[in-house]
């Protein structure tokens, strides 16, 4: 007699594998891709802006305008700027009016500056205003505290400062009035000047090394 075999089947399905579930889509990446597609492709506007073409163009124009303003601000703050000069304190190097100056912002805060360089700076006595003068002394140098015709007293430029004067000594408000200028107030170095009569001219080193002259006395 052969044994009988019984089979048992369950009506309950096995629970699904929890680890096989797909993660929800990343909405952040999707939004980022939509914004990038909108900025690079004019015709890929969001549904709301696609219904109003004028609004679409206005929004795109505003975005490009803001980008241009930001780029111009960064360029003029950290690279180069172009300003007009006025005043007689730097005659004859810079005219009292009509000259435009190209200033490199690489040299701001005294970076790689030396005696003889023409720099732009923030006026310590007038907040919000700027000036242009020539460096006569760097930290540690001894300079005349006043004009040569008035006194022969010397002063040593302290650390973190420079001594600036105008080429037109008689009509210049400079370190002889407000003392050593903090290098933190230096905003750049003047490289070129432009005018409608002389076009581009490089601002040269205005000082010369002292020479010993031996005069024959009869």
Based on the residue annotation, tell me whether 150 is a catalytic residue of this protein.
no
Q: What is the mean pLDDT of residues 194-211?
A: 80
From the candidates 105, 120, 133, 193, give the one annotated as an active-site residue.
133
CATH number, domain 80-202: 2.10.109.10
Higher pLDDT among residues 58 and 186, named by residue: 186
Active-site position among 89, 120, 172, 175: 89
Q: Is the pTM of this model over 0.75?
A: no
192, with CB counted inside 10 A (0-12, 13-18, 19+), is middle
Domain(s) labelled CATH 2.10.109.10 in the chain stretch across 80-202
SS3 for 123-163, per residue? CCCCCCCEEEEEEEECCCCEEECCCCCCCCCEEECCCCEEE
Q: Assign 24 a pLDDT band (cuts: 50, 70, 90).
A: low
Going by pLDDT thresholds of 50, 70 and 90, the confidence category of residue 45 is low
**Rounded mean pLDDT of 149-178?**
92
Quote the mean pLDDT of the chain. 82
What pLDDT is stored for residue 8 in this prediction?
47
CA distance 129 to 101: 16
Is 89 noted as a catalytic residue in this protein?
A: yes
Over residues 91-95, mean pLDDT: 93
Phi, psi of 215 (to 5 degrees): -90, 135
């Amino acid at each position: 007699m052969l044994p009988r075999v019984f089979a048992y089947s369950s009506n309950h399905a096995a629970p699904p594998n929890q680890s096989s579930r797909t993660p929800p889509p990343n909405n952040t990446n999707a939004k980022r891709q939509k914004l990038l597609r909108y900025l690079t492709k004019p015709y890929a506007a969001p549904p709301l802006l696609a219904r109003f073409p004028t609004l679409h163009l206005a929004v795109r124009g505003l975005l490009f305008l803001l980008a241009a303003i930001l780029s111009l601000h960064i360029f003029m703050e950290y690279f180069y700027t172009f300003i007009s000069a006025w005043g007689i304190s730097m005659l004859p190097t810079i005219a009292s009016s009509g000259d435009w100056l190209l200033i490199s912002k690489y040299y701001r805060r005294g970076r790689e500056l030396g005696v003889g360089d023409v720099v732009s700076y923030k006026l310590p006595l007038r907040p919000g205003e700027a000036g242009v003068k020539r460096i006569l002394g760097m930290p540690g140098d001894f300079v005349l505290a006043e004009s040569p015709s008035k006194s022969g007293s010397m002063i040593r430029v302290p650390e973190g400062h420079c001594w600036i004067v105008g080429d037109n000594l008689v009509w210049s408000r400079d370190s002889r009035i407000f003392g050593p200028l903090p290098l933190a107030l230096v905003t750049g170095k003047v490289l070129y000047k432009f005018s409608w009569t002389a076009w581009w001219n490089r601002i040269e080193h205005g000082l010369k090394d002292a020479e010993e002259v031996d005069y024959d006395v009869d």
